[in-house]
């Protein structure tokens, strides 16, 4: 009896360890929740939330190309030529333009090089920015909201299974090379 | 001992010990004199200690697991940079295309340059270009890599010391004025076909009246240009038109490989040889040559002769044609043996039958030979039809005699200043010694070259020029046609267009862009009536990459019956012919690794030049491929490896020039040997054919990096040939193909699209433009000679070249081989990790992130198209990386890769269609090899659409698949080769 109990206990412990290992392993390369400090404490909350600037005003490429794009510094100055122009943070922007060296933002969302993702077809297809990027309008500091893993992509495309052409079968043909090349 | 101190002592020890380790055993590891005590023991503790197998595995496993896990924990921080100020029209992630003109050689083909985030990453042919009509050659494709060549000059140099342009512009005019007072100033360029550049030079000469402009080109066509003055009394540049040519005879002119303008020729040639579209009226091509050239390999009749006897054949042809024409032409008496004479007579009869619709070309650089060709063309009524004589007013061509005089003047101390632009006589002039001697007597040498070369080496001032992708320029293409080059990127370094330097030094404040505009406004705009305002005219020209203002004169110049002195002697000993290889050409692109690794279309050798011998000559001299021989003419001697080349004219040695560069970046340095010293200045021009050379066997062997070592098809019909009658369907083809085989695999469910490709073997000339185009598009790495020798080249598309018939004059077929995208793909069934799988639209996908590198797939592929990354191939050059296509991943070590049918382009086409709310259709995209093919041999499209070009082609023509008996059912079909024999 004692042997059986010890055995069961050992099995449970091993099982738990394996479970733990799998859970941990799944996190490898997963940067969900990444929220680095930026060279300028730019707040999406102020811009997109309080002032209700449309995401696409700054991330103009999101409707047209693969990447949403970091807005050109000159675009910031469209407003900041007038607004809060004495702030030292805005000074950094002027400094960047004067010295011809762009601001080095820390990249938050990054897909591996072997993944193809195109913003334009999602944005034009009616997917809200928030659906993937979360409540950006309430983020003081930009945070990676979703896991951006392959399972996460597929889950979304599967949930829409009732509505081609967005389900995974119609959208990708179930082909690896729709996204990986 | 503290670590740093110990490292210091090791440094000393390394200095003293030049012997490198071969293996651990070869070193004395027991002694304490080499290493601090305990070091080696510690290093090998794991191996030497008496531990059980289990313990060993534990240690091993742990030591692997720990670094693996710890390395997974940290995510590297990457930076994201935006534009400071976005240029109008640039959207990150979206390509912009600019029309331009190629600067890879003198042919000036029309280009479309693809830029991403402001970087040019790919060039493609401009279908609207009036002469190249959408094709680009391998060299043109590779120019985009030369732009990012890290060996290029970074800034101006004065006596080897970095300086600024302001400083340069302050000093040079004064120096030039002094030089002008003392003697003459000489400006050496290549051929200048830019009217604006000529105007700049004229302006410069106004300022310095003592200045002479001498163009220099190793392959100058100077005899060709000179000959028209003697036969037709006009200074003319010929423009060849194949649009109604029925018989084409070329004597030693490789017009599909390197002669004159290969892309324009290939385009027209393929149209004229399309048997089904032209209902059997197929151009017939006869090639008489010593070298086995690209053009020769496509000929319907190829007559191999010794290099020195090309003139004899020409003279005989002239005699026969003049007999047929009944006009008395003074032609030298010839003696030719019976069989060859009979052949020449047949050819002459065929030419005569097609009079007015034929063309004769010669690659000779002797004026009399070219005069003979003009005479034949005149007798056949071809002048003004297939040979159009364009006035040479807007082009400064290289004249060999003038350059020879210049070198004499330099040696004689008459030149007080030398300005060299992109010509490189330091390498390409036959006597380096004489050149050096001349240069040493010139007190002021200013080089305006882009990158270091043998000429700029001796310059006092380096005022580096721009790459053509960073420049404005124009090109006169003859007959009122003009090409424009526009910059697609800001200069990467502190360089500037050489024209701008000349303008500055001439005291002009206008920059070159404004100068071109003002020149066009005054000279070209006025000659047309379609545009009322110059701005509109200019925008149109920039947008289209050029403009045609018409006004080609149709005046037929009067033929003057010339006296000809032809060298009709027979070759007694061995002849030598110097030629240009398809990739490296005259040597100016020698620092481009893509071109070095491009297998020669005929010999399939990468990375080297060599001495070609015919099988007969080789066996007579007891040498085989790879043996070293010394080739000697007078006191010039060169030791090179032998390459036995079937079909090479008897008693001929052929050597490629352009190799053996001593001053360039690391890719080209010391590759091959320089054969220019064999050039001789005879009869007013540089001669590249020499008689009476000796070869002697040298000791040693040099392995040539060949990509094809097996030349026979082993009795399988990999390449099929059908007759003209069969192609036209008037006769049943001999090959009946059984399309249906029983299959063990379940059928794939047909998707919306079924991508497929048809390759027409009749059209493929073997020019290899597709290879480089694919390399640029798909980030295919360069592996180097050593790796090619291990069969590890990475090209996704290769050209297999097969011979048939006898060794002395074989027939040649070129067959492009890429992944065949089989329906029943053998690679897919053996992959243990499902890294290669079938897609719904019929592609055989390679999923790099799944691949673990078992290489089972490559072993199971019957076509040998899969490439394995044995290393992380170098993409680490910060400049070179800029040429990478950001739409494609750079594959890492241990991953298999292969042709993807340009999946990124399919995706782009599909996305375009999706945004427009329709299905993807033909014309939405072209795959890279298809786009670049100058002869339109490759057609890609949707097999599910019965109206697509590829479907129609395969239905109407006798398409077949490779190794049908394996029932792998490839998606790539071949259309059989059709020849047009006499």
- Tens of pLDDT, residues B818-851: 999 998 999 999 999 999 999 988 899 999 999 9
**CA distances, B211 to each of A139, B175, B423, B895 (Å):** 69, 13, 17, 59
Q: Contact A73/B82, CB-based, under 8 Å?
A: yes
Distance (Å, whole) CA B341 – CA B303: 11
Q: Tokens for B881, please give them.
A: 């990386």
> What's the confidence (pLDDT) of residue A170?
67
Lowest mean pLDDT among A67-81, B326-340, B421-435: B326-340
> What's the confidence (pLDDT) of residue A125?
82
Q: Tokens for B14, please give them.
A: 């390394």
A 143-162 residues with CB < 8 A to B: none
Lowest mean pLDDT among A32-41, B129-138, B532-541, B923-932: B129-138
Distance of CA B707 to the CA centre of its chain: 17
ipTM of the complex: 0.86
Average pLDDT over residues B887-905: 92
* pTM of structure: 0.89
> What's the confidence (pLDDT) of residue B234?
86
Q: Which chain A residues are within 8 Å of B92, Cβ to Cβ?
A: 61, 65, 67, 69-70
> What's the confidence (pLDDT) of residue A23?
77
> What's the confidence (pLDDT) of residue B64?
62
**Segment A132-154, tens digit of pLDDT:** 999 999 999 999 999 998 888 88
Residue labelled with tokens 């590198």: B853
**Segment B589-609, tens digit of pLDDT:** 999 999 999 999 999 999 999
**CA distances, B542 to each of B111, B488, B520, B536, B546 (Å):** 12, 12, 12, 10, 6
Lowest mean pLDDT among A164-168, B141-145, B193-197, B817-821: A164-168
Distance (Å, whole) CA B770 – CA B776: 10
Decide if pLDDT at B48 tops 70.
no
Count of CB pairs separated by less than 8 Å, A with B: 126
State percent of chain A over pLDDT 70: 92
Does the beta carbon of B836 lie under 8 angstroms from any beta carbon of chain A?
no
Ranges assigned E (strand) in B502-613: 546-548, 574-579, 605-606, 611-613
Does the beta carbon of B912 lie under 8 angstroms from any beta carbon of chain A?
no
> What's the confidence (pLDDT) of residue B91?
87
Decide if pLDDT at B452 tops 90.
yes
Q: Which chain A residues are within 8 Å of B843, Cβ to Cβ?
A: 175, 177
Q: Contact B850/A110, CB-based, under 8 Å?
A: no
- d(CA B118, nearest CA chain A) in Å: 14
Q: Tokens for B878, please give them.
A: 């910060």
> What's the confidence (pLDDT) of residue B731?
59
> What's the confidence (pLDDT) of residue B248?
94
Decide if pLDDT at B777 tops 90.
yes
Q: Which residue of B has its CA nearest to A165?
A: B914
> What's the confidence (pLDDT) of residue B24?
29
> What's the confidence (pLDDT) of residue B59?
64
Decide if pLDDT at B129 tops 90.
no
Q: Which residue of A has its CA nearest to B915?
A: A121
> Strand, helix or coil at B437?
helix
Q: Which chain A residues are within 8 Å of B848, Cβ to Cβ?
A: 114, 180-181
Among B87-101, B326-340, B773-787, the range with the most confident prediction by mean pLDDT is B773-787
State percent of chain B over pLDDT 70: 91
> Strand, helix or coil at B800?
strand
> Strand, helix or coil at B677?
helix
> What's the confidence (pLDDT) of residue B748?
81
Average pLDDT over residues B540-557: 83
Quick one: CA torsion of B256, B262, B268, B274, rounded to 10 degrees? Answer: 30
Quick one: CA torsion of B604, B608, B614, B617, rounded to 10 degrees? Answer: -150
Please say whether the beta carbons of B591 and B670 come within 8 A.
Answer: no
Q: Which residue of B has its CA nearest to A150?
A: B849
Q: Contact A75/B839, CB-based, under 8 Å?
A: no
Distance (Å, whole) CA B106 – CA B588: 12
Distance (Å, whole) CA B240 – CA A118: 47
Q: Which chain A residues are within 8 Å of B911, Cβ to Cβ?
A: 118, 120-121
Does the beta carbon of A126 lie under 8 angstroms from any beta carbon of chain B?
no
Give the one of A28, A176, A181 whose C-beta lies nearest to B837's C-beta: A176
**Segment A101-127, tens digit of pLDDT:** 999 999 999 888 899 999 998 888 888
**Segment B628-662, tens digit of pLDDT:** 999 999 899 999 999 999 999 888 999 999 999 99
Decide if pLDDT at B5 tops 50.
no
Given pLDDT bands bounded at 50, 70 and 90, which one contains residue B572?
A: confident
Among A12-16, B546-550, B834-838, the range with the most confident prediction by mean pLDDT is B834-838
Residue labelled with tokens 């330097």: B501
Burial class (CB in 10 A: 0-12, 13-18, 19+), A171: middle
Decide if pLDDT at B51 tops 80.
no
> What's the confidence (pLDDT) of residue A80?
93
> What's the confidence (pLDDT) of residue B26?
32
> What's the confidence (pLDDT) of residue B339?
85
Given pLDDT bands bounded at 50, 70 and 90, which one contains residue B349?
A: very high
**Segment B670-728, tens digit of pLDDT:** 899 999 999 999 888 999 999 889 999 999 999 999 888 777 777 778 888 888 888 88
H/E segment holding residue B911: helix B903-915
Does the beta carbon of A57 lie under 8 angstroms from any beta carbon of chain B?
no
Distance (Å, whole) CA B695 – CA B633: 9
Average pLDDT over residues B251-280: 89
From the list B644, B649, B683, B630, the residue with the least C-alpha distance to B571 is B649
Q: Contact A118/B911, CB-based, under 8 Å?
A: yes
Please say whether the beta carbons of B283 and B291 come within 8 A.
Answer: no
A 5-24 residues with CB < 8 A to B: none
Q: Which residue has the higher pLDDT, A25 or B468?
A: B468
Decide if pLDDT at B38 tops 50.
no
Averaged pLDDT of chain A? 87
Lowest mean pLDDT among B15-29, B488-502, B711-725: B15-29
> Strand, helix or coil at B939?
strand
> What's the confidence (pLDDT) of residue B29?
33
Compute φ and ψ for B434, nearest 5 degrees.
Answer: -65, -40
Averaged pLDDT of chain B? 86
Distance (Å, whole) CA B410 – CA B375: 38
> What's the confidence (pLDDT) of residue B759?
94
Give the one of B82, B837, B904 whose C-beta lies nearest to A102's C-beta: B82
Given pLDDT bands bounded at 50, 70 and 90, which one contains residue B744?
A: confident
> What's the confidence (pLDDT) of residue B953?
85
Q: Which chain B residues are within 8 Å of A73, Cβ to Cβ?
A: 82-85
Does the beta carbon of B878 lie under 8 angstroms from any beta carbon of chain A?
no
CA pseudo-torsion sign B89, B92, B97, B103: positive
**CA distances, B461 to each of A117, B180, B438, B443, B444 (Å):** 50, 17, 17, 11, 8
Q: Which residue of A has its CA nearest to B897?
A: A181
Q: Which chain A residues are within 8 Å of B83, Cβ to Cβ?
A: 72-74, 102
Which of B81, B92, B844, B914 is best to mutate for the A interface (most A CBs within 10 A)?
B92
Q: Output b/e per residue, B59-87; b: 16+ Cβ within 10 A.
A: eeeeeeeeeeeeeeeeeeeeebebbbebe
Q: Contact B907/A178, CB-based, under 8 Å?
A: yes
Decide if pLDDT at B22 tops 80.
no
> What's the confidence (pLDDT) of residue B142?
94
Given pLDDT bands bounded at 50, 70 and 90, which one contains residue B981?
A: confident
> What's the confidence (pLDDT) of residue B746?
80
Distance (Å, whole) CA B879 – CA B592: 13
Distance (Å, whole) CA B801 – CA B601: 8
> What's the confidence (pLDDT) of residue A169?
66
């Amino acid at each position: 009896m004692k042997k059986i109990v010890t055995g069961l206990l050992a099995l449970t412990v091993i099982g738990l360890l394996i479970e733990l290992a799998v859970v941990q392993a799944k996190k490898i390369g997963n940067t969900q929740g990444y929220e680095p400090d930026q060279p300028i404490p730019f707040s999406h909350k102020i811009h997109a939330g309080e002032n209700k600037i449309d995401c696409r005003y700054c991330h103009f490429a999101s409707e047209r190309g693969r990447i949403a794009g970091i807005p050109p510094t000159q675009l910031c100055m469209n407003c900041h030529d007038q607004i809060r122009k004495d702030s030292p943070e805005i000074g950094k922007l002027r400094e960047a333009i004067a010295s011809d060296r762009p601001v080095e933002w820390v990249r938050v969302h990054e897909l591996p090089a072997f993944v193809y993702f195109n913003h334009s077809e999602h944005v034009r297809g009616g997917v809200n920015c928030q659906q993937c990027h979360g409540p950006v309008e309430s983020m003081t500091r930009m945070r990676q909201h979703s896991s951006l893993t392959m399972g996460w992509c597929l889950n979304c495309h599967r949930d829409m299974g009732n509505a081609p052409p967005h389900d995974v079968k119609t959208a990708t043909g179930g082909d690896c090379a729709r996204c990986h090349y | 001992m503290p670590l740093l101190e110990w490292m210091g002592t090791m440094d000393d020890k390394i200095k003293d010990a030049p012997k490198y380790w071969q293996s651990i055993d070869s070193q004395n590891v027991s002694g304490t004199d080499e290493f601090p005590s305990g070091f080696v023991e510690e290093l090998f503790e794991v191996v030497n200690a008496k531990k059980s197998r289990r313990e060993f595995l534990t240690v091993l496993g742990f030591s692997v697991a720990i670094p693996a896990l710890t390395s997974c924990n940290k995510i590297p921080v990457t930076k994201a940079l935006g534009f400071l100020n976005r240029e109008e029209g640039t959207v990150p992630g979206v390509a912009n295309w600019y029309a331009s003109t190629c600067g890879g050689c003198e042919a000036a083909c029309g280009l479309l340059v693809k830029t991403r985030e402001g970087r040019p990453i790919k060039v493609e042919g401009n279908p609207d270009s009036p002469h190249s009509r959408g094709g680009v050659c391998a060299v043109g494709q590779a120019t985009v890599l030369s732009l990012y060549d890290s060996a290029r000059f970074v800034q101006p140099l004065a006596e080897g010391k970095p300086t600024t342009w302001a400083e340069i512009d302050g000093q040079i005019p004064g120096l030039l004025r002094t030089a002008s007072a003392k003697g003459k100033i000489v400006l050496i360029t290549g051929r200048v076909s830019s009217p604006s550049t000529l105007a700049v030079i004229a302006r410069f000469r106004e300022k310095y009246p003592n200045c002479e402009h001498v163009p220099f080109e190793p392959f100058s066509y100077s005899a060709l240009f000179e000959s028209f003055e003697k036969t037709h009394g006009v200074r003319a540049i010929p423009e060849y038109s194949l649009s109604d040519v029925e018989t084409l005879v070329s004597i030693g002119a490789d017009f599909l490989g390197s002669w004159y303008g290969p892309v324009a020729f290939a385009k027209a040639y393929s149209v004229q040889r399309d048997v089904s579209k032209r209902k059997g009226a197929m151009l017939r091509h006869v090639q008489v040559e010593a070298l086995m050239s690209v053009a020769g390999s496509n000929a319907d009749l190829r007559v191999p002769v010794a290099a020195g006897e090309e003139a004899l054949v020409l003279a005989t042809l002239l005699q026969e044609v003049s007999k047929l024409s009944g006009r008395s032409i003074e032609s030298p008496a010839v003696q030719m043996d019976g069989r060859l004479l009979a052949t020449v007579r047949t050819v002459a009869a065929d030419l005569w039958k097609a009079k007015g619709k034929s063309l004769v070309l010669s690659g000779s650089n002797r004026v009399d030979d070219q005069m003979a060709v003009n005479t034949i063309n005149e007798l056949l009524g071809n002048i003004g039809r297939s040979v159009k004589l364009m006035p040479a007013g807007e082009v400064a061509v290289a004249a060999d005699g003038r350059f020879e005089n210049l070198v004499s003047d330099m040696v004689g101390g008459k030149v007080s200043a030398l300005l060299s632009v992109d010509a490189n006589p330091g390498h390409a002039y036959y006597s380096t010694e004489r050149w050096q001697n001349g240069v040493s007597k010139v007190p002021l040498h200013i080089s305006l070259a882009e990158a270091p070369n043998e000429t700029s080496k001796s310059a006092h001032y380096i005022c580096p020029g721009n790459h053509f992708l960073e420049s404005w320029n124009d090109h006169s293409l003859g007959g009122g046609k003009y090409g424009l080059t526009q910059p697609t990127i800001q200069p990467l370094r502190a360089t500037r267009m050489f024209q701008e330097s000349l303008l500055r030094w001439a005291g002009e404040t206008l920059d070159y862009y404004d100068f071109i505009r003002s020149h066009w406004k005054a000279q070209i705009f006025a000659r047309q009536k379609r545009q009322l305002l110059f701005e509109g005219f200019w925008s149109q020209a920039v947008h289209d990459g050029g403009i045609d203002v018409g006004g080609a004169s149709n005046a037929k110049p009067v033929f003057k019956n010339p006296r000809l002195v032809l060298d009709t002697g027979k070759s007694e000993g061995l002849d030598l012919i110097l030629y240009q290889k398809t990739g490296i050409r005259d040597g100016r692109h020698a620092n481009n690794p893509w071109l070095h690794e491009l297998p020669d279309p005929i010999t399939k050798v990468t990375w080297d030049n060599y001495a070609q011998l015919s099988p007969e000559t080789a066996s007579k001299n007891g040498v085989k491929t790879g043996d070293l021989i010394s080739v000697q003419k007078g006191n010039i001697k060169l030791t090179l490896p032998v390459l036995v080349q079937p079909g090479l004219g008897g008693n001929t040695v052929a050597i490629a020039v352009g190799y053996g560069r001593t001053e360039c970046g690391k890719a080209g340095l010391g590759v091959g040997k320089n054969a220019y010293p064999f050039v001789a200045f005879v009869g007013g021009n540089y001669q590249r054919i020499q008689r009476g050379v000796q070869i002697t066997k040298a000791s040693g062997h040099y392995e040539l990096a060949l990509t094809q070592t097996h030349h026979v098809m082993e009795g399988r019909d990999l390449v099929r040939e059908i007759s003209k009658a069969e192609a036209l369907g008037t006769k049943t083809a001999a090959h009946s193909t059984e399309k249906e085989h029983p299959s063990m695999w379940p059928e794939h469910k047909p998707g919306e699209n079924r991508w497929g490709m048809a390759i027409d073997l009749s059209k493929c000339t073997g020019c290899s433009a597709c290879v480089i185009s694919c390399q640029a598009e798909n980030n295919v790495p360069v592996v180097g000679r050593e790796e090619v020798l291990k069969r590890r080249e990475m090209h996704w598309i290769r050209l297999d070249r097969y011979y048939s018939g006898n060794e002395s004059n074989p027939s040649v077929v070129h067959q492009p081989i890429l992944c065949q995208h089989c329906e029943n793909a053998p690679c897919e069934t053996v992959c243990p990790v499902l890294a290669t799988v079938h897609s719904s639209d019929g592609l055989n996908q390679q999923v790099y992130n799944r691949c673990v590198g078992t290489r089972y797939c490559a072993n199971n592929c019957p076509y040998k198209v899969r490439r394995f990354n044995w290393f992380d191939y170098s993409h680490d050059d910060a400049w070179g990386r800029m040429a990478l296509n950001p739409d494609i991943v750079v594959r890492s070590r241990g991953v298999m890769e292969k042709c993807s049918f340009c999946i990124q382009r399919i995706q782009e086409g599909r996305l375009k269609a999706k945004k427009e709310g329709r299905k993807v259709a033909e014309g939405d995209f072209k795959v890279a090899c298809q786009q670049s093919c100058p002869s339109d041999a490759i057609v890609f499209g949707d097999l599910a659409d019965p109206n697509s070009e590829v479907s129609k082609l395969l239905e109407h023509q006798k398409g077949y698949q490779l190794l049908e008996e394996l029932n792998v059912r490839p998606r790539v079909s071949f259309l059989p080769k059709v020849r047009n024999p006499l």
